[in-house]
Amino acid sequence: MKRTPFAGMLPSGRLVRCSVWMGAKLKNDGPAGVRAVFALDSRLQQDTLPIGDFPLCRLLLSNDSNYPWFILVPRREAISEIFQLDVADQQQLWQETTALSQVLKDAFDADKLNVAALGNVVSQLHMHVIVRKREDAAWPAPVWGKHPAKPYGSEQIAAIRERLRLILTDDFTFLEG
C-alpha cells in the first residue's frame, strides 16, 4: 500500500489536505479467487422489482408508481460504501449510473434526475436514480417519505420493461419477470 496526497473541498468551502492509503480496498474474493455469492438485501427484495443486470450492477425498479425510481446495486458481497469497491468497480458503477441516467432522462422526459447513494436504512451499497417531473407527487421535495408507495400494476410494469428493452441494449441482460 502507498500513501497518496489528497486535496478536497468541504461544503463549507474549506480546503482539506490529507493523505490516503491507496490499495486498502476490501477484497470480494474468497479462497482461490472465487467471488462471493451476491445476495440482495431483504428490504430491497421486498420493495423493488428486478429488471436485469449491467456488468456490475443489478437494476431494480422501486415498486412505487409515484415516480420512475430505479436502483443500481453492485453485485458485490459485504459492500456498504463506494470507496469499498476496488477502483475498477468504482469506475464501472459511475459508468453504469451515468449511462442509466442519460437514457432515463430521455425515455421518461425527466425535468431532473435525483441520483444518490444514501444507505441509512439499507446498508447494502445501492445507487438511486429517480426520474423527477415538475408534476410528480413530491416535486420539488425529496421523494423519501413524502407519499405512501403506490405499487405498480402488472400492465404498468410490462410497459416500463418494454420501454427499457428499447433503450438498454449494450451490456445489459434482462431478467425474466
CATH class of segment(s) 30-174: alpha beta
- Rg of the Cα atoms in the chain: 18
* Position 153 pLDDT exceeds 60: yes
Mean pLDDT of 30-40: 64
Instruction: Please choose, from the candidates 128, 139, 133, 127, the residue with its C-alpha nearest in 3D space to the C-alpha of residue 108.
Output: 133
Q: Cell 502507498 belongs to which residue? A: 2
pLDDT exceeds 60 at position 28: no
Residues constituting the chain: 177
Is the bond into 68 cis (omega within 30 degrees of 0)? no
- At residue 36, the pLDDT reads 59
110 — alpha (psi -120 to 50), left (phi > 0) or beta?
beta
Residue 13 contacts by C-beta under 8 Å, 6 or more apart in sequence? Answer: none
pLDDT averaged over every residue in the chain: 84
* pLDDT at residue 145, as a whole number: 85
Q: Is the pLDDT assigned to residue 5 strictly greater than 90?
A: no
As a whole number of angstroms, the distance between CA 133 and CA 113 comes to: 9
Q: What residue segments make up the domains of the chain, in order of their start?
A: 30-174
pLDDT at 154 over 70: yes
pLDDT band of residue 156 (cuts 50, 70, 90) is very high
Would you say the pTM of this structure is higher than 0.75?
yes
